[in-house]
Amino acid sequence: MQVDYIIVGQGICGSFMSHYLQQHNSKFVVLDEGKTTTSSKVASGVINPITGRRLVRTWMIEEVLPFAVNAYQQLEQQLHCSFISPKNIIDVFTTPQMKLAFDERLPQETDYLSNAIPSQKFENVLHDFFGSGMINNCWLIDINLMLAQQRQHLIQSNNLLTELFDATQLQVSSNAVQYKHITAKKIIFCDGIGSTQNQWFNMLPFVPNKGEALLVQIDQLPRDYMYKCGVTIVPWQNNLFWVGSTYEWKFEDDKPTAQFKEKTIHTLQQILKTPFKVVDHLSAVRPANIERRPFVGLHPIHPSIGILNGMGTKGCSLAPYFASQFVEHLLYNAPINPLVDIKRFEKILSR
């Protein structure tokens, strides 16, 4: 098989790389092992323009948010299904300090914060001892539906093989790669946490970060909002809610833990006024990194090998934007934002 590009991995990054390559009529094949719990499959799918206790804007949000919304909507049209919806976050303050921080930011951040809370909608279900505020212009993506539909589409167009990529079978030269029976101009790694084990990119400053979530039935909680209330509660498939998450830098494996389940059930008991039922427990490791900036571009020593990775906690908003930028670079030599270009690690990658 002769193609222009081999893409390893079909998470959010590989999905958007394949989407843009297809738009430009490039020849490519995606290799994905078909694992059921990956960072993209466990993610809640939230795009939240406001971040942290200080309620500051997420990095590059003015550019990446409109781009991402448009990209998901375009993909929806192509795949004939619906997986992105506007859904604001009700920020339920769990301490007086949180209310103070919100009230202080409110006059400066009128684009994304407001007091307009439809309290009657959730006051019978959630305690809000210290009040609440609204984070506007948020979006929710049903990532599992998006990934499944894109996979189906790629299989039908003969662009995806369900198999584990084995790096020992890859032969690399400066202008081509050979993988088993596939010859390509370049190979692009979109393999999430897999790149931490990969001989070409394991020197990048990845800091894998584990996250867990419970899938919970909460019958009376309105599904037209997302909630931040000590935990984040997000509408999920099958009338369930996703409740999470943790940000663990130290962990033994990627499996769900009893401690997380116990702690989260305890938190839900404190904040919910109504009964709930835990239906499932998920966990995965995020491909995070020290700088909190993506890894995009071609290897400085091996220009036939590239990477789109390091999305950390923001894959939903960052992946579409930087996949498009990377494809424009591959096809038309357009510039990659120097803040994300892996050229910044040239010294480390040259060792």
Residues that bind ligand FAD (CB under 6 A): 8-14, 31-33, 35, 38-40, 42-46, 164-165, 190-194, 211, 213, 244-245, 284, 286-287, 309, 311-317
Smallest distance from ligand FAD to CB 96, Å: 27
By beta-carbon proximity to ligand FAD, the closer residue of 99 and 211 is: 211
Angle at CA 187, nearest 5°, toward 185 and 192? 165
By beta-carbon proximity to ligand FAD, the closer residue of 211 and 235 is: 211
Smallest distance from ligand FAD to CB 16, Å: 9
By beta-carbon proximity to ligand FAD, the closer residue of 99 and 342 is: 342
Smallest distance from ligand FAD to CB 285, Å: 7
| 13 contacts 319 by C-beta, under 8 angstroms | yes
Smallest distance from ligand FAD to CB 37, Å: 9
Angle at CA 152, nearest 5°, toward 151 and 158? 90
At residue 243, φ and ψ (nearest 5 deg) are -125, 120
Smallest distance from ligand FAD to CB 80, Å: 23
Tokens of 331: 């096809």
Smallest distance from ligand FAD to CB 47, Å: 6
By beta-carbon proximity to ligand FAD, the closer residue of 102 and 260 is: 260
Smallest distance from ligand FAD to CB 120, Å: 27
> 160-168, long-range: CB within 8 Å, 24+ apart, which pairs?
160/10, 160/18, 160/29, 160/30, 160/31, 160/32, 161/29, 161/30, 161/31, 161/32, 162/32, 162/33, 162/34, 163/31, 163/32, 163/33, 164/31, 164/33, 165/8, 165/31, 165/33, 165/191, 167/198, 167/199
By beta-carbon proximity to ligand FAD, the closer residue of 44 and 99 is: 44
Tell me how far apart the alpha carbons of residues 245 and 230 are, in angstroms, rounded to a whole number.
10
| 135 contacts 89 by C-beta, under 8 angstroms | yes
Tell me how far apart the alpha carbons of residues 212 and 197 are, in angstroms, rounded to a whole number.
22
Smallest distance from ligand FAD to CB 208, Å: 10
| CB proximity list for 110: less than 8 A, separation 6 or greater | none
Tokens of 4: 């222009």
By beta-carbon proximity to ligand FAD, the closer residue of 287 and 306 is: 287
By beta-carbon proximity to ligand FAD, the closer residue of 99 and 137 is: 137
Smallest distance from ligand FAD to CB 187, Å: 12
By beta-carbon proximity to ligand FAD, the closer residue of 133 and 287 is: 287
Helices (H), 290-343: 315-332
Tokens of 181: 């029976």
Residue with tokens 């401690």: 259
By beta-carbon proximity to ligand FAD, the closer residue of 100 and 279 is: 279
| Element containing residue 296 per DSSP (H, E) | strand 295-298
Residue with tokens 């894998």: 208
Report the DSSP beta bridge partners of residue 58. Answer: none
